[in-house]
Amino acid sequence: MLSVDADRRRRPTLDTVAAAVGVSRATVSNAYNRPDQLSSSLRERILETARSLGYAGPDPVARSLATRSSAAVGFMLPQGLSGAFSDPALSIVLDGLASTVDGHDHSLVLMPGDSTGGPRPSIVARAQADVMVAYSLPDSAPAFDAVAARGLPLVVIDQPVLPGSARVEVQDFLGASLAASFLLDQGHSRFGVLTFALHPDGVSGPVSADRRSAVPFRVSRDRLGGYLDTLAKAGVKPDNVPVWEARGSDRELGRLGARWLLTRTPRPSALLCASDQLAFGCLQAARDLGLTVPSDVSVVGFDDVPEAAYSDPPLTTVRQPLADKGRRAGELALKLLAGGRPPRPTRLDVSLVQRASTAPRT
């Protein structure tokens, strides 16, 4: 402990190096940040001395203070990382984002959410980032106020418009509607819907009518709405469509919900899921119950994660360009950072990918 403290206290600074070389602090700073401002021989000498003194370069924090920029983008998640990373869709988005900002020498600060459906405001208030990206937080999450209070630029992904923020999103409603139409065309008439969280309260279970109103997660709202509205237009009353809400989007929660859905009477001949993970759970549940997909029951997912092509059977699903979503968000973040105005929202396309988990109703 003592020695750590001592280490800290002794760490050389710009001044140390400047004194050792016999130049001004500004010159040493220039040696690192503006090589064109000094002769290369002097620069070499400075760098060499720095090395021998154990000086690792300008302190990032002090640098950030002086430049008023921390070269980092904050990423706000609706839940803890556990839930987050078990969702491959998020991983892909995050990767797209990370590679974009990393390419511009910005780092990524992760801000996990809690039961309120987003990071705590105190976390946001203290995060060392100069632009924030929100990923599918509930509408009016407290985190948004915290971002606004700091006056940080904001990019939202899968989120309704917020004043002054840039936005990238996917046509979730349309995608869901494509899937529902497809199944209707295949002759199905008894449906079940499996959605992920409608509310951030961590509840799983059958969805009552009142829980279906004022859904704060836009994605859930649109996918569920896209399914139910399309069915309703075709004459399938929402009241006759059992809906299960899973508190997260993973395979096991999907299995649980699907078990419930597949034991309703009459049994649905088609299951519409809000994500591929949930759909994988359905495949499992069907197996558990001795049902065959797709002859006994058709299943569609949403996202088209890579695994959807390899499941057994391969999944019919709604494709959205996940990596693009992340990349685009990264570009927007960098643009806002550079002082750009938020452009009009980027809307990404969806399409239905037909594989083997669906079949015409026999």
Residue 204 site contact among DNA, its own copies, none (CB < 5 to 8 Å, cut-off depends on kind): none
Say how far apart CA 108 and CA 332 lie, in whole Å.
15
Q: How far is CA 100 from the centre of its chain?
A: 15
Residue 176 site contact among DNA, its own copies, none (CB < 5 to 8 Å, cut-off depends on kind): none
Whether 275 contacts 222, CB under 8 Å: no
Angle at 240 between CA 238 and CA 246, to 5 degrees: 75
Chain positions 114 to 133 lying near its own copies, rule: CB under 8 A, are 122-123, 125-128
Per CB under 8 A, 26 contacts its own copies: no
| Side-chain-side CA neighbours of residue 26 (13 Å) | 2
Residue 99 site contact among its own copies, DNA, none (CB < 5 to 8 Å, cut-off depends on kind): its own copies
Binds DNA (CB under 7 A): choice among 67, 115, 240, 292: 67
Chain positions 323 to 352 lying near its own copies, rule: CB under 8 A, are 339-341
Q: How many CB atoms lie within 10 A of CB 218?
A: 19
The terminus-to-terminus CA distance of the chain in angstroms comes to 73
Binds its own copies (CB under 8 A): choice among 102, 185, 201, 349: 102
How many amino acids of this chain bind its own copies (CB under 8 A)? 64
- CA dihedral over 123, 220, 198, 82, signed as positive or negative: negative
Q: How far is the CB of 185 from its own copies (least distance, A)?
A: 30
Q: How many CB atoms lie within 10 A of CB 96?
A: 21
Whether 297 contacts 291, CB under 8 Å: yes
Q: Report residue 277 as tokens.
A: 């993970």
Per CB under 8 A, 6 contacts its own copies: no
Q: Where does this chain bind its own copies (CB under 8 A)?
A: 1, 4-5, 7-8, 11, 54, 56-57, 60-65, 68, 70-72, 80-82, 84-86, 88, 90-92, 94-95, 98-99, 102, 105, 107-112, 122-123, 125-128, 146, 149-151, 153, 250-252, 280, 284, 306-307, 310, 312, 339-341
Q: Where does this chain bind DNA (CB under 7 A)?
A: 11, 13-15, 22-27, 29-30, 32-34, 36-39, 42, 57-59, 62-63, 65-68
